[in-house]
Structure 1
C-alpha cells in the first residue's frame, strides 16, 4: 500500500464536487457527519468545501501532491468510496489525470 501514489496526491479531494444521498448522513442512519454536508435538494447533499468555485473537501487535511489524508476516511460518502475503490485501477484514469492537472501535477 505504501507505493500507492494516491497517498501522496489528494488532488481528487481538492478538485471535484461530491454529491450524495441524504440517507448517508449520520442523522439518517448513515455514516457521513452531518456537519460536513450542505443540502442541495430534499434528498441530495454535497460534501462541505466541494461546493466552492475551487473545490476542496473540508475533511481533506493535507497538502495536494505531498500527502493525502482524509479526516473522515472511514465515514466518507459513497462517491469518495467508489473513486477510491477504483484504485489502483482508477489511478491514472481520466478523472485522476484531470484532478492532477488542476494542481500542476503530472499524470500517473
Structure 2
C-alpha cells in the first residue's frame, strides 16, 4: 500500500501545528527557527497554521492530489506523531476530520487478506 499522506496533506492544511519551543534548532532541536512563530512563552507553531484557513508554510503541492513536506526530516514531534487512519491498524478521527474539511473521503481500512466472501470467520 502506498503512503496515503503523499496524496493528501489535509492535516497540514487544517490543524494548528504547535509544539514546545525546545524542538527548534536554536534550542538544539531540528525544526528551523525561521519556520515557526511564537504562540506563548513555551510554545511555537508552524507558520501558516495559526489562522483559518490553515496551511503549513512547508506543505508543497495540492491537498488531495500530491503533496510533500519540504522539511520532512526536520519536522516537529506533533507532525511525527500524527498518524493517517489505519496506518497502524486503527482509525484516526483527526485524520478523517481534516480530510472531510477538504472534501476528501476517509481512508478505507485495508482489506484482510485471509478473509474472503466464501470463507466464514
TM-score by length of 1: 0.90
Tell me, yes or no, if the aligned pair for 1:90 and 1:96 is still in contact at 8 Å: no
Paired positions, count = 107
Distance (Å, rounded) in 2 between the aligned partners of 1:87 and 1:70:
21
Give the secondary structure class of the aligned counterpart of 2:22. helix
Distance (Å, rounded) in 2 between the aligned partners of 1:92 and 1:8:
18
- CA displacement, residues 14-67 of structure 1 (integer Å, 9 cap, x when unaligned): 010011111000111001000111101111111110011111000001110011
Change in 2 beyond 3 A, CA 1:85/1:103: closer
What is the root-mean-square deviation of aligned Cα atoms in Å? 1.9
The question of 1:37 aligning with 2:71 is answered no
The question of 1:81 aligning with 2:80 is answered yes
Higher relative contact order (CA 8 A, sep 6+): 1
> Which one has the bigger helix percentage?
1
Distance (Å, rounded) in 1 between the aligned partners of 2:44 and 2:106:
30
Matches within 5 A, 1:60-71: 60-71=59-70
> Which one has the bigger strand percentage?
2
Q: Stretches of 4+ moved more than 3 A in 1?
A: 84-87
Unaligned runs of 5+ in 1: none
Unaligned runs of 5+ in 2: 108-121
Change in 2 beyond 3 A, CA 1:90/1:25: farther
TM-score by length of 2: 0.81
Which residue does the alignment assign to 2:10? 11
Tell me, yes or no, if the aligned pair for 1:38 and 1:47 is still in contact at 8 Å: yes
